[in-house]
Amino acid sequence: MGKKPAITVIDYHMGNILSIVNKIHRTGYEAIVTNRIDLIKTAEKLILPGVGHFQRAIENLKQLKLLDVLNEAVLVRKIPILGICLGMQLMAEHSEEGDVDGLKWFDAEVVKFRVSDQLKYKIPHIGWNNAIIEKESPLFKGISHEAMYYFVHSYHIKCNKKEDILTTTEYDYLFTSSIQKNNILGTQFHPEKSHDAGEILLKNFAKL
């Protein structure tokens, strides 16, 4: 048996990285936490985490000079990457949060929840919800369709191409809760906080 490839978690000062690392270790894989360009250049799998403000996240990536190396790894070398929560939103063209452009890997925008009843549907959307499978993906292999995932967010991604949508979730209305285009994947929910389903999902990602 060959050595399992480590998963490189990008540290740009915006993520709850420890819980992700702990969950990766539970899957039997190693995790490298870094913002070093040389290590990202040689990574075999990438996770882009994120909690917080979209504009600040983009500024941090720019200050750490990570935009070019990420584009090269993802768009040229075609390294599998998983964006989590804000990390997924950063893959869009643009966000209402800060009115700034994202990485532009998906034809999509990030918009604030506009719910019909703010007492019934509190923003941010916090808690457990399901994910309706919209297309087959190895990311959800072996996970029950009834599985619940943990969400914390006030904004969500709005995909312009239906084929990029992996799952949808209902919170007053249907929104996109995970995406995939070739080697680029993202979940709005937190797999590292989603118990067994999240652990299986991270293991599936590690096997891509």
Which one of 125, 153, 156, 190 is the catalytic residue? 190
pLDDT for position 4: 77
pTM (2 decimals)? 0.97
The answer to whether 85 is a known catalytic residue is yes
| Token pair for 66 | 């990570």
161 neighbors 204 (Cβ within 8 angstroms): no
Rounded Cα gap, residues 137 and 140, in angstroms: 6
Confidence label for 52 from pLDDT (cuts 50, 70 and 90): very high
Whether residue 1 is predicted with pLDDT greater than 50 in this model: the reply is: no
Considering the candidates 97, 109, 134, 192, report the single residue annotated as catalytic.
192
Active-site residue (options: 44, 59, 85, 146): 85
- Joined together, the tokens standing for residue 71 give 């584009």
25 is catalytic: no
Q: Residue 95: name the closest of 51, 48, 52, 157 by CA.
A: 157
159 catalytic per annotation: no
Q: Are 43 and 8 in contact (CB under 8 A)?
A: yes
pLDDT (0 to 100) of residue 110: 98
What are the residue ranges spanned by the domains of the chain? 7-207
Q: What residues does 173 pair with on adjacent strands?
A: 171
- Per-residue pLDDT at 89 exceeds 70: yes
Of 186, 98, 194, 114, residue with least CA distance to 149? 194
pLDDT in tens, 100-132: 999 999 999 999 999 999 999 999 999 999 999
- Architecture of the domain defined by 7-207: 3-Layer(aba) Sandwich (3.40)
- Nearest to 87, CA basis, from 56, 53, 49: 49
The band of 2, judged by pLDDT with boundaries at 50, 70 and 90, is low
More confident residue, 118 or 1: 118
pLDDT for 16: 79
Main-chain phi, psi angles of 187, to 5 degrees: -130, 135
